[in-house]
Each structure stands twice: as C-alpha cells, then as structure tokens.
Amino acid sequence: MSASTGSTQPNSPTTFYQHALALVHRYPDVPLPRDGEPYPDADRRRNRVWSADRSDDQGARTSRLIDEFFSAPTEHRDIARLYREVVDYDIGIALWPSIAAAIRRADPGQARELGRHLARTSTDQNPTVLGMALLAVVGTEDDISLIQTIGLLSDTFGLLASQALTRLPDATANLIWLADRTAGWGRVYAVCAICELADPAADWWLLRRACDGHHLNGEFAYNVACAAPVHDAIAAPDADEALIDHTGNLLSTLAWCDGMGGTLWEYVHSEQALAHYLSRISALPPNLVRYQSVWALACFLDGRPNVPPPNWATLEPLHTGYWSLLATPTWHSVLTAASDNERSREWATRTLGELRRRQAGGQ
C-alpha cells in the first residue's frame, strides 16, 4: 500500500491467497481437503507467545484498531504495526456489527485498498481475516474472485466470504460456486446465505445439490426446505433422480437434526413431502444411500429417535408404506450386499439386527 508505511511480510513467503490458489489448482471444483489446512502460519501460531488478553469481545478490539488506523493522517498510517497488533489476539471470523460500523466510518476507497492488500499479501491468519472483513463491507465486483478463492479455506474464511458475496452482483451464482467447493462449516455458511437471498434462480441447485451428506447439513436443512419448493418439486410426475435422491437426503436429515436446526416437526409440508417422496423412491432401484434415507424416515414415523410419531391423518398408511418398502426383497438385499466400506457394513449389520427384532415382535 503506497499510502502506508512498513511491510506486512514476515519471513514466510507463502500468503494465504497463494496457499488457496495452489490448492485450487491441485483440487479444482471440489472441496479442499481439510478445508485447506494446515495454513501457512500453522507452525507460527502453534509456537506463538500470545498476549495475556487475547479476547475480541464481539469485535470491540478489532473495531478500535480500524478506527485508530484510519483516524491517523494518511502518511502516518503504519500497516506493519496494524498487522502486528491484529496477529496478537483471537480475531473473530464473523463480521460483527461493531466491525462493520468501524469500516463504514472509514473512507470506502481507502478501506477497500487496505482490505485487498491484507487479503492478498498476509501470511498470517488474523490479518487475512481482517482483509476479508473489510472486503465484506466495501468490496466491489472486482474483488469477487479474491473473496471466493480465500473463501475456499472455508472453515475460517467461509463465513466472511459468504457475507461479502451476498452484497455483490450475481450473489446467487457466486455463492453457489463457493458452496459447490466447500464442505462442513464452510458449506453451512454458503447454503444459509443462498437461502436468505430467497432467489428463485437458486431453486434448481437447492433442490438437487445443497445437502452433501455431511452431518452439518443438519444446520441448514430446514432453511433449504423453507427456501425451495421441495414439496411441489417432489410431487411433480417428471421429478428427476437427482431431485428425488436429494429430497430423501434432505427429509432424512430433518428427521434427526433436532438441536441443530428446524426438523420435520417444524416443516409445514412434511406430511405431503413424505407421501410424494415415498411414491417417487418406490419407482427407483434401491441402493444403500436410498435405503438409509427411507430407513431414517420410517424410524421418524415410528416416533424415533426421541419424539412421538406425528399426529397426521395419513400416519398409518405412510408408516406401513415406508416399512413395507424396506421389507421388499430387492430393498432388503441392499443390506446384505453392503460392502463399500467398514462403516457401511457396520450400519447394515446393525440395521439387519433391528429388522429381525422388529419382525420377531410382529411389527
């Protein structure tokens, strides 16, 4: 930055941006292994002697540093000092209102210049976070690629990247790009942001791609069910296999995600969606993933794992339909053939044992 003094570069030559770019070239179009960790500063963070007070209560410390930096005359702004101070505490990975307000008090062009500089050149996590926070407030269309690239280091930077992309042009498409290439918490942040946009252009993706089978899908499954016309789409006679399978994944996640997000109990179209899903999935050949979805929904209709069964007018035929499908020879054979991996075999063995106990009890 020409307007500030000092260098932000420690001895390590690898910036977070360079780190992310290298991983993108190695793993194009898929989530990065371990969300891109270890980061370039992993050894330094592990060995760092931290200050006695590492807290940043709701962004108070960061907002103070932003105000101090931009209140100084341009020629006296010391970016190296800012860098050293930010490194010394636990900066949050979210855009706290206090931080956003401090950024808005600064000149937008100068804040944008600082954000770009930190995001592109920082070799430590905290200054990179600060750069992303600045771009989340004052970034422009020119910053989208930079934001997306660092956002792929998604466990740490996915939330700020999603917050930044939400306010920039082509938000839906850019967030879907990020969601398709993230997993875990990074995917949670991106999918929740897509749902909040309430853009019909996202429906195709939300109906077929949002859930990827990770247990953290429970954090956003209800958001997807409310944002996309799931109950109408699964009712359509021409529903494609991708939509049917994703609906099974989504509904089965809603069956067990109590404590994470909304569940089938809160989803107002649950009864309708379960009926149409049963009709559609019954016409498809079984596989283990489909069996697991149907099993989770059958258990929900049993009142498991920890709630009574729903008080629906169609409960009895739905209950019978789901358990009958699982008992058909072609579907039952999926369990005996399960051998993809040890985890699948263990699940199939447990499920077979429960089915035998269920049959012995006359259920």
Q: Are residues 33 and 86 in the same domain?
A: yes
Burial class (CB in 10 A: 0-12, 13-18, 19+), 229: middle
Give the DSSP letter of residue 219. Answer: G
pLDDT at 45 over 80: no
Q: Dump pLDDT digits (tens) for 10-20.
A: 455 799 999 99
Would residue 203 count as lying in a domain?
no
Q: Are residues 177 and 282 in the same domain?
A: no
The predicted structure's pLDDT at residue 363: 60
Give the DSSP letter of residue 206. Answer: H
Would residue 157 count as lying in a domain?
yes
Q: Which of 306, 314, 192 is nearest to 255 (CA)?
A: 306
Give me the percent of the chain exceeding a pLDDT of 90.
77
pLDDT at 59 over 70: yes
- The answer to whether 297 and 255 have CB atoms below 8 angstroms apart is yes
Q: Which of 87, 143, 152, 144 is nearest to 116 (CA)?
A: 143
Tell me which residue range forms the domain holding 5: 1-197
Q: Are residues 2 and 73 in the same domain?
A: yes
Q: Are residues 23 and 90 in the same domain?
A: yes
Q: Could you count the other beta carbons within 10 Å of the beta carbon of residue 240?
A: 13
pLDDT at 322 over 70: yes
The predicted structure's pLDDT at residue 118: 97
Would residue 220 count as lying in a domain?
no
pLDDT at 1 over 70: no
pLDDT at 228 over 50: yes
CA 270 – CA 231 distance, rounded (Å): 8
- 218-246 average pLDDT score: 97
- The answer to whether 19 and 34 have CB atoms below 8 angstroms apart is no
Q: Are residues 174 and 246 in the same domain?
A: no
pLDDT at 2 over 70: no
CA angle 37, 127, 194 (to 5 degrees): 65
Q: Are residues 264 and 356 in the same domain?
A: yes
Would residue 205 count as lying in a domain?
no
Q: Are residues 176 and 281 in the same domain?
A: no
The predicted structure's pLDDT at residue 90: 83
Give the DSSP letter of residue 310. Answer: P
Residue 280, φ and ψ in degrees, nearest 5: -75, -45
Q: Are residues 11 and 83 in the same domain?
A: yes
In whole numbers, what is the pLDDT of the chain averaged over residues? 92
CA 92 – CA 90 distance, rounded (Å): 6
Give me the percent of the chain exceeding a pLDDT of 70.
93
Q: Are residues 271 and 329 in the same domain?
A: yes
Which residue would you say has higher pLDDT here, 297 or 307? 297
Give the DSSP letter of residue 30. Answer: S
The predicted structure's pLDDT at residue 3: 46
Would residue 148 count as lying in a domain?
yes
Would residue 204 count as lying in a domain?
no
- 264-278 average pLDDT score: 97
HEC states along 229-249? Answer: CHHHHHHCCCCCHHHHHHHHH
Would residue 85 count as lying in a domain?
yes
- Picking from 85-94, 171-180, 247-256, 310-319, which range would have the lowest pLDDT averaged per residue? 85-94
Would residue 16 count as lying in a domain?
yes
The predicted structure's pLDDT at residue 342: 82
Q: Are residues 176 and 317 in the same domain?
A: no
pLDDT at 344 over 70: yes
The predicted structure's pLDDT at residue 52: 61
Q: Dump pLDDT digits (tens) for 64-98.
A: 999 999 999 999 999 999 999 999 888 889 999 99
Number of domains in the chain: 2
Amino acid identity of residue 59, one-letter, is G
The first and second tokens of residue 263, run together, are 């569940």
Q: Are residues 33 and 130 in the same domain?
A: yes
- The answer to whether 196 and 159 have CB atoms below 8 angstroms apart is no
pLDDT tier at 350 (50, 70, 90 boundaries)? confident
Amino acid identity of residue 45, one-letter, is R
Q: Are residues 236 and 350 in the same domain?
A: yes
